[in-house]
Structures are given as structure tokens and as C-alpha cells.
Amino acid sequence: MADDDTIDATTAAVLQAADALYAAPPDEFMARRADLSAQARKSGDPVAAKSIGALRKPTVSASVVNRLVHDDPSAVDRLADVGARLREAHDALDATVLRDLSGERRTLVGELTRAALDLAGLGNPSAAVRDEVIATFDAAIADPDVAEQLGHLTRSANWSGFGFAVTGSPELTLVQGGRNAAPRPTRASRLTRPAGDTGPDEPVPPTRPETSPPPTKIPSAVRRKNERARVLAQSAFDAADGALRTAEADEQAGTERVRSLTAEIAELQRDLEQTRRDLDRARREVRSARTKRREARSALDRAERRASE
């Protein structure tokens, strides 16, 4: 869960909604998202509402992994721990430890895969779904960035590396032999061999980086929280930016409408003034006609009286 002291209320609301959505069965995702978005809008946070409405529905395999992580958060730490020890063993070029950890990795991935599928109610999943779940857990071991995204995945992850570089980033190499054994030459090393050198590939002694203080390790739970906060903050920013663009477009349209209506009002005002002048003239004509009618009536009455004498 997010720390309300370190992120704003909007991001916290989106993160809380994301936790609820990605912990739920995928067939409930759309209805829950609409409900949570409506709640945010009703509470007076339109940016959060738009960000929640933009959260993507996960694939089946991604949902299987997400639900396990929300049900058992320790799964991420277990994957990260194996990944860290694999990187350390690779940096030390310790093939024995690497073999042991490879077995531990397979056992852990198998255990988590079975638990995830059982939790999702997939007793007999398709081969594609099972393979994607396994690949995602393997990728989380190989790449800490993937591990930090577990719980909010929208699709499965994949990792095609065979080892880890000294820096901790995976690379396409396979470490063999004992602690002091050198890695096999890569295709790149053969391509960069000096011109005229046609001899067999020679092992290159491993080099060690210059001694420097080890970097401070940030707990995986904190990294996951920070990454989720970053992703959702970006989502909130995108939603706010989109809302601004929409508001600016509405403002422009409103300005044009006001200008058009102002012109219409001016025209109507001129018509009104002309109509009032016409009405005044008609009223004068009515008064004049009434006067003439009364006079004519009086003359008629006098003529009739004289005729009757």
C-alpha cells in the first residue's frame, strides 16, 4: 500500500484503486474500474477518476501473477532474494553456487506458479497461460524492475537472458567451471579479434571492477512502493494534462460561442429597436384612426337626426 505522507492524495487514491482492481478476478475488472472511477469523481477528484478509468485490464496470465502477489506479498521478496544471490554468485564466478541457486530458482518458480494457478481457480490452465506465468516469475528473478511491477502487471513479462553481468544487469552469457574459471568467449569477442589472428579462442581472465563502497541497497518493498507511486503519478499527470487540454478546448469553444452569440444579440438588438419604432408608429396610426372614426360617427349621428326631422 502507498504511504500517504510521501505521495499526494490523488496518487494515493489511484494506487489504492489499482491495488483493489489488480487483486480482483479479471472478469470483475471493468465493472469495478467503472465503480471506483465514479467514486473518485463523486468525492471531488476528477484527475483520480480519469486515471483510474485509464487503468488497463490485465491479461489472464498477468492477472494470475498479480492476484498471488496481493494474496502473498512475500512472494516478491522471495523472488528478489533468489535474484540477488544469483547475481552475487555470477559476479563471483562461482559455478557451484550458481548450479545450486538454479535448482532453487526452478523450485521457487514451480511453487509460485502452482500457488498462483490454484488461487486463480485454474486447475487445468492452457499451456500458454502456464508458460507465461512461469516466464513472468523467471523475469522477476532476473530483473529487479520486473519484480517491482508485480501486482500491477497488465501483461506477462519475459526474459531471454542466460546469466548476469558484473553490474547486476542480465546479459547473454553462460558461466561454466569453478570460481576462477573464465567465461566462454562471446561472438562479439571473436568479431573484434585483431586482424590476422586466426588462432583458437583463448579464455579471457575475468576482470574485477575497482574497489568502491557498495551502493546502499533500498528494500524491495520500498522500491516497489516508489515505482508504483511513480507510475501512478505519471498516470495522474497524463490524466491532468489531458483534462487541461480538454478544458482549454472547451474554453476556446465557449469563447467562439460567446462571440457568435454576442453578434447575434447585437443583430437582435437592432431588430428590436426597429420593431419598437414600427410599433410606436402603428400605435400613432391607431390613435389617429380612432379619432377619425369618432369624428365620422358624430357626423353620421347628426346627419341621421336631421333626416328624421
Least confident of 120-129, 206-215, 252-261: 206-215
Angle at 93 between CA 88 and CA 97, to 5 degrees: 65
**Cα dist from 27 to 21, 59, 87, 115, 120, whole Å:** 11, 11, 38, 20, 12
pLDDT of residue 203: 42
64 vs 303, residue with greater confidence = 64
- Grid cell 528478489 in the structure block, residue: 80
Whether residue 3 has pLDDT greater than 50: no
- Grid cell 506477462 in the structure block, residue: 156
pLDDT of residue 238: 63
Q: Alpha-carbon distance 73 to 78, whole Å?
A: 9
CB atoms within 10 A of CB 205: 8
pLDDT digit string, tens, across residues 273-307: 889 888 988 998 898 898 988 889 888 888 888 88
pLDDT of residue 204: 41
The number of helices, as runs of H, and strands, as runs of E, in the chain is 10, 2
Q: Alpha-carbon distance 221 to 5, whole Å?
A: 16
Question: Across-strand partners of 163?
Answer: 171
Determine the average pLDDT of the residues in 27-31: 93
Contact 142, 90 (CB under 8 A): no
| Residue percentage of the chain with pLDDT more than 70 | 70
- Grid cell 431588430 in the structure block, residue: 271
Contact 146, 159 (CB under 8 A): yes
8 CB-near residues (< 8 Å, 6+ apart): 233
Q: Alpha-carbon distance 25 to 125, whole Å?
A: 15
161 vs 212, residue with greater confidence = 161
265 CB-near residues (< 8 Å, 6+ apart): none
pLDDT of residue 4: 43
The domain segmentation of the chain, as residue ranges, is: 1-57, 58-181, 259-309
Buried b (16+ CB within 10 A) or exposed e, 223-248: bbbbbbbebbbebbeebbeeeeeeee
Rounded to two decimals, the pTM is: 0.53
